């Protein structure tokens, strides 16, 4: 069972890492991207659920359940911000969705390398595309 769960976790994570930028590019090109958005949300949910299950199964890693919940929360809140017309959605959405993507990337890099530096680098580097997205969203007509 753990091998199948790990395979699901890797598959969902890979899908999220591919669909995230695809969704962003579709939105920037005014092509909607609803399918990619839904796929990204499903992928993040799959990563969060399988990651939490794996964390509980390995002694000493239960604290990663909080990371799974936070990652899922960021993705869902980011998707809802615009759809629900939150007053500050143009500022919040890039941080929320960018944060969920940075969490996926962090997990892949930490798992792949084991280096603790990857706990910080994706969050720092993500600030550039988040700032660009915020600038683009604030330039849209109200």
The pLDDT, as a whole number, for residue 105 is: 97
Residues 6+ apart with CB under 8 A from 43: 12, 13, 15, 16, 19
The pLDDT, as a whole number, for residue 49 is: 97
Q: From start to end of 2-126, where are the E strands?
A: none
pTM for the model stands at: 0.92
For the chain, which residues score pLDDT lower than 70?
A: 1
Residue found under tokens 């890492």:
17
């Amino acid at each position: 069972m753990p091998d199948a769960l790990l395979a699901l976790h890797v598959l969902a994570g890979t899908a999220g890492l591919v669909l995230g930028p695809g969704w962003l590019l579709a939105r920037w090109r005014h092509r909607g991207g609803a399918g990619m958005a839904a796929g990204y949300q499903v992928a993040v949910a799959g990563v969060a659920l399988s990651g939490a299950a794996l964390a509980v199964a390995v002694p000493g890693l239960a604290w990663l359940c909080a990371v799974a919940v936070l990652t899922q929360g960021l993705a869902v809140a980011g998707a809802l911000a615009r759809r629900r017309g939150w007053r500050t959605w143009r500022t919040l959405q890039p941080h929320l969705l960018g944060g969920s993507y940075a969490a996926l990337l962090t997990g892949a890099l930490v798992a792949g390398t084991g280096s603790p530096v990857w706990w910080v680098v994706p969050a720092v580097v993500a600030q550039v595309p988040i700032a660009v997205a915020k600038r683009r969203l604030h330039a849209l007509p109200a």
